[in-house]
Structure 1
Amino acid sequence: MQSIYDRIESLIKMRGMTKKSFCEEVSISTGNLGDWKRGKSTPSTNKLVEIASFFDVSLDWLILGKEQQDIYLKENMESYSWDELRENVSLSEKEKEFIMEYINFTRYRRQQSCDK
């Protein structure tokens, strides 16, 4: 069974980063990362949210290793999978940036409501 650290390490490798550059990106010390590896400590909730957002993975996957389910959007009682929308919709770079900004804002709002 993979640990949180194992999943973080695999994300770092997949991104082609060094562990040092990852630590700089998410503002942690290499010592903290080493403590996570040895099981001496685990990332804080806020840091897990930041890491999940940085790598664009779900918290369920990062924490538990659960596979992400398809996201469904409903409009006028019809369901669309996220993958179908991506394949069938052509967006400008500006529109894509706006959508990513909205997604990040939604993640932030969700986290704020969970912290209450």
Structure 2
Amino acid sequence: MTISERIFERLRQLSMTQREFAEEAGIQQSTISEWKKNKTNPSSDKILAICKALDVSPEWLLSGVDPAENRGKN
């Protein structure tokens, strides 16, 4: 799964619209639309804003792995 796919999957989980996400993350809706069309992926300077708006970790957004799931398994 790509970063963009994870973003839109999380939006579905949260029942959040692209407009709400854009406002929450401070990212233009046109930029988010480009991600959805798979024309581009988010730039590195947007990662933390995306994570905060979607309540996810950067590790999950970038790799699909949730570090909280691995705690205590060592």
Q: Which runs of 5+ in 1 are unaligned?
A: 71-80, 82-116
Question: What is the alpha-carbon distance in structure 2 between the residues aligned to residue 16 and residue 47 of structure 1?
Answer: 21
- Answer 1 or 2: which has greater strand percent: 1
Query: 1:26 matched to which residue of 2?
Result: 25
Query: Retained in 1: the 8 A contact 2:25–2:52?
Result: no
Aligned to 2:27, the other structure's residue is in SS state: coil
RMSD: 1.7
Q: How does 1:90-105 map to 2 (within 5 A)?
A: none
Query: 1:11 matched to which residue of 2?
Result: 10
Question: What is the alpha-carbon distance in structure 2 between the residues aligned to residue 24 and residue 53 of structure 1?
Answer: 12
Structure 1 residue runs of 4+, over 6 Å off? none
Q: Which whole-Å deviations, capped at 9, do the CAs of 1:13-37 have from their partners, x for residues lacking one?
A: 1112111111111122221112112
Q: Which whole-Å deviations, capped at 9, do the CAs of 1:67-87 have from their partners, x for residues lacking one?
A: 3222xxxxxxxxxx6xxxxxx
Greater relative contact order (Cα < 8 A, sep 6+)? 2
AA of the residue aligned to 2:9: S
Question: What is the alpha-carbon distance in structure 2 between the residues aligned to residue 16 and residue 39 of structure 1?
Answer: 21
Query: 1:106 matched to which residue of 2?
Result: none
Q: Which runs of 5+ in 2 are unaligned?
A: none
Question: What is the alpha-carbon distance in structure 1 between the residues aligned to residue 35 and residue 24 of structure 2?
Answer: 17
Q: Which entry has the higher C-alpha Rg, 1 or 2?
A: 1
Structure 1 length-normalised TM:
0.52
Identity %: 31
Structure 2 length-normalised TM:
0.76
